[in-house]
Amino acid sequence: MFPEQGYTYEEYKETADWLLANTQHRPLIAIICGSGLGGLAEILKDQKVFSYSDIPNFPQSTVHGHAGRLVFGNLNGKSCVCMQGRFHLYEGYPIWKVTFPIRIFQLLGVETVIVTNAAGGLSEDYKVGDVMLIKDHINMPGFAGNNPLVGPNDERFGVRFPCMSDAYDRGLRKLAKTVARELGFSDFLKEGVYCVLGGPSFETIAECRMLRKLGADAVGMSTVHEVLVARHCGMRVFGLSLITNKAVMDYDSESKANHEEVLQTGRERASHLERMISSLIERLEHNNNVC
C-alpha cells in the first residue's frame, strides 16, 4: 500500500497485537461514542482503559466532548470495547486515519459495531432529544470520491466492491424497537436516514432544505465512514443518532446551531441511551444475534 493511501496491514496488526498483549479482554462488540455520549463507556465492568496517545499508530481526538480513550470491559456478560471519542474529517485527518480503529476492532475479533452520534434533525417530525435508529445513510463526501475504501484493496479485510444496501442490520433495528417498547422509550424513538457532511461548519438553510429533499432525516459529521469500513470487514452494524438540535429551515428563524447545545442534549439523554444499549446487548446474547 502506498504511504499516502493509508496504513499497511502490518501497522494495523501491530496495533491490534499490542492491545491483545495488554488486556485480557477479547471483545465481540465495539461501541463508538458520539459527542456528549462518552458516558456509555462507564457502564462497562472490569474496565481496562487506554489513552489514545499510548496506543501505537492511534490518532488523537481533538474535539471537546471526546475524551480520547479506548475502554475495554464487560457488559451483561459480553466482552466489549468502547471508543470515548472518534475522529473526523474536519480535524484535518485523512479518511483512512478517521477509520483506523474499525479495522483494529476486526483484528481483535469484534463482530458487531454499535455507532452513536449527535445529529441535527431535518425531519419535521423530530424533536430535540429524540433518538433515531439509522436505517440507511447518504454519504455526501463519497459523491466527491472521499471514501475510506479508495485505493488498493486488501482482501484480508474485505472484497473490492462491498454491498451497502444492508449497511444497518435489519434484525438489530427490529430488536432495538422491541427493547425500546419494553423500556417505555417508544415515544422518542424514530427511524430514518442519516446524512454525513464534512463539517466543521453547521449547515446553511439552503443545504438543510436540499438534504431534506434528498431523503435525509438527520445530518451530522461522522459515522458513515466508520460504517463503510465495518461492513467492508464483514461486521454487523447498529446505529443510533441522538437529535441534539433542529436544523434551521426558515430564513426568518433566529435559531442557531451550536456545539454546547449538542453536548447538553447528550448529557440529558445519556441515561436512556445507556439503558437501551445495555438491554440491547443483553438481548443479543439471548437471541444469538452475536457470535
> Is 61 tagged catalytic?
no
Note the residue count of the chain: 291
**Given the residues 14, 67, 90, 146, the one annotated as active site:** 90
**Given the residues 123, 139, 222, 241, the one annotated as active site:** 222
The distance of Cα 62 from the centroid of its chain, to the nearest Å, equals: 17
Contact indicator for 7, 59 with CB cutoff of 8 Å:
no
**Given the residues 41, 167, 221, 235, the one annotated as active site:** 221
> Is 88 tagged catalytic?
yes
> Is 90 tagged catalytic?
yes
**Given the residues 12, 25, 52, 88, the one annotated as active site:** 88
**Given the residues 118, 132, 140, 276, the one annotated as active site:** 118
**Given the residues 66, 225, 232, 272, the one annotated as active site:** 66
**Given the residues 91, 167, 230, 279, the one annotated as active site:** 91
In the DSSP assignment, the letter for residue 197 is -
> Is 35 tagged catalytic?
yes
**Given the residues 123, 245, 279, 289, the one annotated as active site:** 245
> Is 10 tagged catalytic?
no
> Is 222 tagged catalytic?
yes
Contact indicator for 241, 220 with CB cutoff of 8 Å:
yes
- In 105-217, DSSP assigns E strands to 112-121, 131-139, 189-196
In the DSSP assignment, the letter for residue 38 is G
Partners of 240 in beta bridges: 116, 133
Among 183, 200, 173, CA closest to 278: 183
State the Cα angle at 171 between 128 and 192, rounded to 5°.
30
**Given the residues 7, 12, 16, 35, the one annotated as active site:** 35
In the DSSP assignment, the letter for residue 89 is G
> Is 286 tagged catalytic?
no
Please name the residues in contact with 171: beta carbons below 8 A apart, sequence gap of 6 or more: 289
> Is 225 tagged catalytic?
no
**Given the residues 67, 76, 207, 259, the one annotated as active site:** 259
Give the three cell numbers for residue 164: 451497502
**b/e sequence 3-20, b meaning 16+ C-beta within 10 Å:** eeebbeeeebeebbebbe
> Is 41 tagged catalytic?
no
Catalytic positions are 35, 66, 88, 90-91, 118, 221-222, 245, 259
